[in-house]
Structure 1
Amino acid sequence: MGFTQQEIISIREQSGQMEREGVITPEALQYIYDKKLFHLFVADDLDGNMTPLPEAIRIFQECSRIDGSFGWLVTIGAGGGYFAPFMTMEIGRKVFSSSDAVIAGSGAPTGMARKVDGGYRVSGRWKYCSGSTHATTFTANAVLDQGETRLDSGETLELVTLIMQPDQVRIEKDWNTFGLKATASHSMVVTDAFIPEEMTFSFTEFRSHEDELLYRYPFLPFAQTSFAGVAMGLADHFLEAAEELLRARGNERVLAELDEQKKEFAHQQDAFYMVLDKSWEELGHKGRLSPEMELRISSECVTAAKASLGCGLRLFPMLGLSACMEDTDVNRTWRDLQTACQHALLRG
C-alpha cells in the first residue's frame, strides 16, 4: 500500500504543474487507481480494498505528506466508500465496481427535490465538491419540496440523498483558494434532472454490508479522523521543507526551534493514534462507540489539527523572504495546510 521513494519523487515533481493547472495530473491519478486508494472503504465484493480505519488514516497522512492536493483527493475520494452500505448491492456495483470509480459531492442541503412518478426532479447548486473533474458519480443532499418550503425558512426540512451521473451535473469552476488548488473543489450545478427512486439513499437504512465494521464507525468522527490525517501529513511535509531550507542556510538557531517543534508534534501524533486505535478496538469489541469515546476522538482530531497548523504558525515567520515565494515547496505546503485546517470539522 505504501509508496516507493521514486513514486514520491514523481508525484512531488508534478506538484507545481498540478497547482498551476488546478487539477491532478493523469499520472498522479493513475497511482491512486493502481493502489485502489479510492476504494479503501469499499467492501471487497464490490471490487473494493476494505481497510481498517486506523490504517487508512495513516495512508491519508502519508499521501498528504507527499503532496497536499494529492492527499486531500485520496481522502475525499476514499470517504465516498462509506456510503456503500446504504445502497443496494445492485446500485453499489454500478457506483463502485470499476477501477476508476470515485464519488464527489456535498453534504450541504442546497438543492431542491420534487417527488414525481418513479423518483424526483432535482435542481440545485452545491459548493466544494473535491475531485469534481474526475468523479464517476456525484452525491448530494436536497430538500424535499413540499410546496411552500424555503431553504431559509427555519422549518424542519425533510432531506433526500441523491446519486447522480456525470452527465446530469454541470461543473462550475469556482474553486479559487490559495491552497489545495489541484483538488478541483468546484461547485456542481443540477438543473431539473430526473433521479430514479433507487438512486437515492438514507443514512438511517442499511441495505447491504451490515456486517462490515467500518460502516458502524459514526460518520462525524470518521470524517474528522480523515481530515486530521490530512492535516498531520501536511505538517509533516511542511516541517521537512522548512528543515531543508534552514539547513541550506545553516541557521542553527531556527533549526533548534524546528527540532523542538518536531518533538512536540510527534508527541501529539502519538496521542492521536493512541485514541484512534482504542476507538477501533472498542468498535470491534462492542459493535459501537460509546458517547464518551465519540467525544474523545472528536476532541483529539481538533487538537491534532491545531497542532499541525501550529507548526506553520510558529515557524513560517522565521523562514525569511524566500519562503514567501509561491513556487517553493515550503510555501505551497504552508498554504495547503492553512486551507485544510479551515474545514469546519477541524476547527472545533
Structure 2
Amino acid sequence: MDSEITLGDVEAAPEGAPREAAFQHALEVLKERRDEFGEQGFVPRDFMALLKKAGMFRVSVPQEFGGDPMPPAQFLKMVEQVSEVDPATGWVASFGSASGYFASLPIESQRALYSKSKDIVFAAGMFPMFEAEKVDGGYLVTGEWQFASGCKGADLLGMGLKGGPETEGKPLTALVDRNAVEIIDNWDVAGMRATGSHNVHADRVFVPEELTFVRGGQPSIDEPITRYPGLAYAAQVLSAVTLGAARGALDFVIEKGAASTSINGGPAKGNRPAYKTGVAKAEAQLRSARAFFYEATEEVWAKAEANEEITDHDKALLRLSATHAAHESREVILSAFNIAGTGAIFKSHPLQRFLQDGIVPAQHAMLQEHTYEASGALLLNLDAGLPSFP
C-alpha cells in the first residue's frame, strides 16, 4: 500500500489580533466541550481545526517555508492556557511544536510538505520500533505502535523504525498519511483519556526514503527555531501541560473551593488554617518551578537567536527544569486535592479533571524520575546513561 500525503485546507488566522481572537475562541469552545472529549476518548478534528486557526500547529515551521516560528516560551504558555481548561486537550495541542522534527527531513521533502499546508497536525507512535523492509526508493512498513496521542485528529502519523548503518544505529521515524494506517481503539485509561493515544497498525505501507528522518537529527535548515534543542523541547511541551493543570487546580481551590462549607457546619474552608497554609505553599511551589522552567527556556532561546553554541549543559538545564516542573506541579495538584476535602473524591468534582490528567505527564519516559539522575550526570560532566539524552 502506498502512503500519499494529503493535508487539510484549514489555515491559521492572520498573525496578531485575528490569531489571538481565534485562540481565545478555542478556549471558550473547550470549556463547553471538554466533557464531551473525555467521554468519547479523543479530541475531534473539528476542534483541532480551531487550534490550527489559532496558529498552534505552525509554531515550528521555518521561515524558509513560509512559517511563523514562535519563541518556545510563547508557545509553552499557550499550552499552559489550554491545559488550565483541560489538560488532555493541552497534551494534544502541545504537539503543535512537533513539526520541528521535520527539520531533519531533506529540504525538498520539507518544501513539498509545507507547500500543501503550514498547519500540520502530527501524531506519532514511536514504540516499539520495527525492522522495515528496504525496497527500491524506500521502505515497506509493517507493525503496530503504541501511544499515538492525538492520532484521530492528526493529518500525518509517524512510526518508529529501527535504524541501520546509514543512521549510525539511531531510530528512524517514517511519515505516513493518517488514512494509510488503521487506528486500533484500545485507549482504556483513567487519566488523559481525551488524548486518544491509541495503537496504530500498518501493513506493508510504502514510505519513500525522503519521508523518513532521525528523530532529533541534524536539521537541514539553519534558523533559530531549528537550533533550539528538539528533544528537550519535546519534554518541555509535556511539562507545560502539568504546569497548566496545576494552575487550574489551584485556581479552583482559591476562587471557588475556599467559599464552600462542610456538612458538619464548620466555617468556610478558606478560613481554616490548613487551607490558607496549603494554598500559600502550593502557590509558592508552582511559581518557583515555573520560574526555573521559563528561565532555562529563555536563556537557551537567546543562544539560538544569536547562533551561539548550545551546550549539553544548556540542554541538561532544559531537561532538568522540565522534569522539575512536571513533578512539582503534580505535587501542587495533589495538594489542591488534599485541601479541597472529601467532596473532591466524587467523579463530578471539578478537581477530578486536573487530578486524573495532570498527574500523568510526570509518568512519561521523558519526565520520569530517572531524568533527574541523567540531568545531574551531565551537570557533573558525566555520561547521562540514557540514550538520546539530553
Q: Same fold (TM over 0.5)?
A: yes
Verify the 8 A CA contact 2:126 2:146 in the aligned structure 1: no
How far residue 236 of structure 1 moved from its aligned partner, in angstroms, is 0.5
The Cα offsets for residues 276-315 of structure 1, whole Å up to 9 and x where unpaired, read as: 2112123333433122222222111111111100112223
The residue that corresponds to 2:113 in the other structure is 95
For 1:7 and 1:191, how far apart are their aligned partners in 2?
36
Paired with 1:268 and 1:119, the residues of 2 have a C-alpha distance of: 45
Cα drift, residue 14 of structure 1: 1.0
1:88-167 correspondence to structure 2 within 5 Å: 88-96=106-114, 97-98=116-117, 101-143=120-162, 159-167=171-179
Q: In the alignment, does 2:191 pair up with 1:179? A: yes
Alpha-carbon distance in structure 2 between the residues aligned to 1:216 and 1:57: 17
Residue of 247, 251, 276 corresponding to 2:297: 276
Q: Structure 1 length normalisation: TM-score? A: 0.88
Task: Give 1:73's aligned amino acid.
Answer: V
Among candidates 191, 194, 203, match of residue 191 of structure 1: 203
How much has 1:100 moved relative to structure 2?
5.2
Letter in 2 for 1:13: E
Is it true that 1:343 corresponds to 2:364 in the alignment?
A: yes
Query: Which of the numbers 61, 68, 87 marks the counterpart of 1:42?
Result: 61
Task: For residues 208-228 of structure 1, give each alpha carbon's deviation from its aligned partner in whole angstroms, at most 9, with x where no partner exists.
Answer: xx2211211222321122122
Q: Which amino acid aligns with 2:251?
A: E
- Residue pair 2:45, 2:153 contacting (<8 A) in 1 also: no
1:24 maps to what in 2?
A: 43
> Would the alpha carbon gap of residues 166 and 8 (structure 1) be closer, same or farther in structure 2, given more than 3 Å must change?
closer
Kept after mapping to 2: 8 A contact 1:115/1:145: no
1:319 equivalent to 2:331? Answer: no
1:75 and 1:111 map into 2 onto residues whose CA distance is 26
TM-score, length basis structure 2: 0.79
Shift of 1:109: 4.6
Aligned-residue CA RMSD in angstroms? Answer: 2.4
SS of 2:125's partner is: strand
1:168 to 159, 175, 180: 180
Identity of aligned residues (%): 22
Contact 2:61 2:118 in 1 (8 A): no
| Structure 2 CA distance for aligned equivalents of residues 317 and 266 of structure 1 | 19
Offset at 1:26? 5.0
Contact 2:98–2:234 (CA under 8 A) maintained in structure 1: no
Partner residue, 1:149: none
Q: What letter corresponds to residue 55 of structure 1 in structure 2?
A: Q
Would the alpha carbon gap of residues 143 and 290 (structure 1) be closer, same or farther in structure 2, given more than 3 Å must change? closer
1:33 matches 2:44: no
Name which of 52, 75, 79 aligns with 2:71: 52
Task: Give the one of 239, 242, 245 matched to 1:231.
Answer: 242
TM-aligned CA deviation for residue 104 of structure 1? 0.8
Gaps of 5+ in 2: 1-18, 262-267, 372-390
Cα drift, residue 183 of structure 1: 1.1
1:211 and 2:222 aligned: yes
SS at 1:346 equivalent: coil
Count of matched residue positions in the alignment of Structure 1 and Structure 2: 336
Instruction: Using the TM superposition, name which of 103-112 and 132-141 deviates more.
Output: 103-112
Distance 1:270 1:339, change over 3 A: same
Asked whether the 8 Å contact 2:245–2:333 carries over to 1, the reply is: no
The 10-residue stretch of structure 1 (256-265 or 183-192) with the greater mean CA deviation from structure 2: 256-265
* Alignment CA distance shift 1:255-1:95 (3 Å): farther
Summarize the alignment of residues 253-292 of structure 1 with structure 2, pairs less than 5 Å apart.
253=272, 254-256=274-276, 257-292=278-313
Are the aligned partners of 2:62 and 2:226 in contact in 1 as well (CA < 8 Å)?
no
Q: Distance in 1 between matches of 2:164 and 2:307?
A: 40
For structure 1, which runs of at least 5 residues remain unmatched after alignment? 147-155
Cα drift, residue 59 of structure 1: 1.5
Q: 1:14 aligns to what SS in structure 2? A: helix
Equivalent residue for 2:103, pick from 82, 85, 101: 85
Whole-Å Cα distance in 1 between the matches of residues 28 and 118 of structure 2? 24
Q: Distance in 2 between matches of 1:319 and 1:51?
A: 37
Following superposition, the deviation at residue 40 of structure 1 comes to: 1.1
When residues 121 and 144 of structure 1 are mapped into structure 2, their CA distance, relative to the original with a 3 A threshold, is farther
Return the alpha-carbon distance in structure 1 between the equivalents of residues 80 and 102 of structure 2: 23
* Inter-partner Cα distance in structure 1 for 2:46 and 2:160: 32
